[in-house]
Structure 1
């Protein structure tokens, strides 16, 4: 069954590539220049200012291979030794945040029950704050609900596929950089 699924996915990807490579010139999207770009309106009603690439690795996150966790963006980047993001994904922060700074992965657990009672997997712990262990994890049921604000929790939740990628990337001692 898995072989058939893999073959079907490969066939769809190949056909999509062929289709995109053979789009007639008159149907291809033409790059917009700033003078012809459609105006954008901000929530306040004024023109929206162009922003940097929201998926770019934060500039103040150090160098080398690392996991970057941006508190305000609720996002994690897996960054290779050359400083290039190999993956980025949204996360649901816990109720207790680590202070911005550089940490190392201190422990990992394949499967445990989280402090919120949810069964979790691929737990990667890297900090302690307010006597709470802080770490990345994915709920086995795939959920990413907002944590109960009345409880002190340290689980930074992500989707299971993202949890798998982080688990493979962030071994004991791996650098984790937390930015505001």
Structure 2
């Protein structure tokens, strides 16, 4: 009986082995296809991540360039305003010194003038046009002229502060209305 079953048994074993080999080959091909698809997905994702990174780097570089440009504009505006301020202060000091020394005078128009002090003569007529509504000119005392010009210098200092602030805003935000 073994002789009659043996060929069938061998045939069944060979068939089973062949079937197992075929299943193994099919599974190996499916695994290789899956690994290839996975590798392609990884390559695509790496490419996308690299593109995102490149875009982020370019955006960061544009932001750094914009910051550096604004910083340069602020520095240039600061230098120009500092130079202008120093020139104003020098002019103010020189003019105030000249006023105090009496080499420069401040003249004002006066409409009514009354002479006072030791040189005044009560009831004496004034210069032509003085006291009758006509215009006359008088020199300010040097100390008073210096103080008046000091107030004007303080006003100019405040104007310079506003100009500096405006220059800063225009440097940092050039699209602000009033900036050219």
| TM-score above 0.5 | no
Normalization by structure 2: what TM-score? Answer: 0.15
Report the structure number with the largest CA radius of gyration: 2
| Higher relative helix content | 2
Higher strand share: 1
TM-score (norm: length of structure 1) = 0.15
